[in-house]
Amino acid sequence: MLDFLHHLFGAVCGQNPDHTWAPGGLLLPCCQRCLGLYAGAGMAALLHLWLRPPLTGRFLQAHGGFLLLMAPFGFHWLPQGPVLRTITGLLFGFGIFTFLWLPMSRRFADLASSRARPIHPCATYAIGLGLAAGLVPLLAACGGRGTAYALSGLVCFGLAALAVVICGNAVLALSGVVQWVRRASQLRHQQ
């Protein structure tokens, strides 16, 4: 199974063995930063679906900051080790999922409105983000073989979550283009 995942993630990750966690002696299918990115995207997907935090103001500014934070760390302008690579990747994963989820969240608002919302969704979301930022590197550094499989599953879930929101955004964009063409056609026929 891990061999397949190494091949799959080889298309999107450099898989530098010096920058890859090996819990229980099993090399994970992606580097430390990609582990953070996909784990962050997966955790963000779960938290967005469960908590439905309001995607406005400071919440979006914080996630925009997570995206900007990747520049100095992604371009290696600042010294960093395995834990910092994983955490910056995780924050980037939270940021990228949030902004990709933004157009789709409006479509799901009606479906989710019947469910009770947690009392403080943003605070609970922040706690979830903090736990993920602490636990993912800790488990990667100290875990055994079971942890390697669990983290591999989490990165697969994160990759799938990103694929779903990217495809969903493509469908929404195509739908918008079709509606625009229909309106333009109707306007021409009215003239």
Q: Nearest-CA neighbor of 87 among 126, 128, 42, 33?
A: 33
Average pLDDT of the residues in 90-107: 93
Instruction: Give me the phi and psi of 22, to 5 degrees please.
Output: -135, 70
pLDDT of 16 reads: 92
Of all residues in the chain, what percent carry a pLDDT higher than 90?
Answer: 70
Residue 117's pLDDT is what?
63
Contact 123, 51 (CB under 8 A): no
Burial of 47 (0-12, 13-18, 19+ CB in 10 A): buried
DSSP annotation of 170: H
The predicted pLDDT at position 109 comes to 65
Tens of pLDDT, residues 21-75 = 999 999 999 999 999 999 999 999 999 998 889 898 999 999 999 999 999 988 8
Q: How confident is the model at residue 113 (pLDDT cuts 50, 70, 90)?
A: low
How much is the average pLDDT of 150-158?
96
Question: Which pLDDT does position 118 carry in this prediction?
Answer: 63
Cβ pair 174, 53 in contact under 8 A: no
Residue 111: its pLDDT value, please? 57
